[in-house]
Amino acid sequence: MGLISVAQATIAVSIAAVAALSGCSIRPSGPASVARAQAPVATPPASLAAAVPAESPSAAEATFMAAIAAVESFGSPPPAYQLSVQSAISMRQPVPGFSLTLRSDLLAAGQAAIAAYFGQPQAAVERRILAIAVAEDISAQVIDLGSGASRVTVEAVHVTAGQAVIDASVTAWSRSMTRRPDGQWRELAPVRVLPYTAVMRHANGGPWQVVSLTLR
C-alpha cells in the first residue's frame, strides 16, 4: 500500500472516573518516579476492525489513543480512594493505604491494556513500568491521586502495509499529595506536554499494536 500522510489532527482524550492504569521508564517521571497514574482506558469499539481497513490511519490512531490513555494512567487509584484520601487529610486523620485487592486490580487492568495495545518489544517495557507504578502506590509519603492524558495532538501519521509511524504531542497530567518534613501535606499537580513517536505494526490483518514508544 502507498504512503498515507495525515497532519495536525487534534483529538481530546476524555478520562472518565473509573479505575484503570500509568508509567514509563523511557519517559519523564512524575511525583512518584513514574509519569503515570490511574484512569480508564478508552477502548476502541469492537467493530473497529470491520469498519475500517487495518492499514487506514484512523485505525492506527484509535489504537494509539487507547495505548496512550493506558500508559499515562498506570497504577492510579479509583475516584472513591482519592476522595477518601482527601477527606482524611482535611480532617487530620490517618491516610488510608492501598489494599492488596486494589493493587491486584490495578495490576490486572494494566496487564489487560498492555496485551490489547502493545506488541514486543514495547510490551515488555510497559509491564516493567506498570509493576513499578503499582509498587510505588504503597508509599506512605507520596499519595497518588490520579493521572492521565487530557489531550493528544496527532502531528503526522505515516502508514504503509503492515506498519504505521505516529508523531504526537500528549498533554499529561498527574495529581499527588506529598508529606513534608513537618508532617503537613502538599498537593502537586504538574501538567507536561510530551512529544511521542510511536511505531505500530499489525500482522495478517490483525489489530494494530504499539511496538515502540519513545520521546522525540
Highest mean pLDDT among 115-119, 138-142, 180-184: 115-119
pLDDT of residue 10: 40
Task: Determine what percent of the chain is predicted with pLDDT higher than 70.
Answer: 75
Q: Which SS3 state, helix, strand or coil, does residue 119 take?
A: coil
pLDDT at 205 over 80: no
| Nearest to 144, CA basis, from 104, 194, 183, 97 | 97
| Nearest to 202, CA basis, from 166, 160, 167 | 160
Helix intervals (H) in 74-171: 79-90, 100-117, 122-136
- Residue 193's Cβ-count burial label (10 Å; 0-12, 13-18, 19+) is exposed
pLDDT tens digit string along 105-137?
999 999 999 999 999 999 999 999 999 988 887
Give the residue with greater pLDDT, 37 vs 177: 177
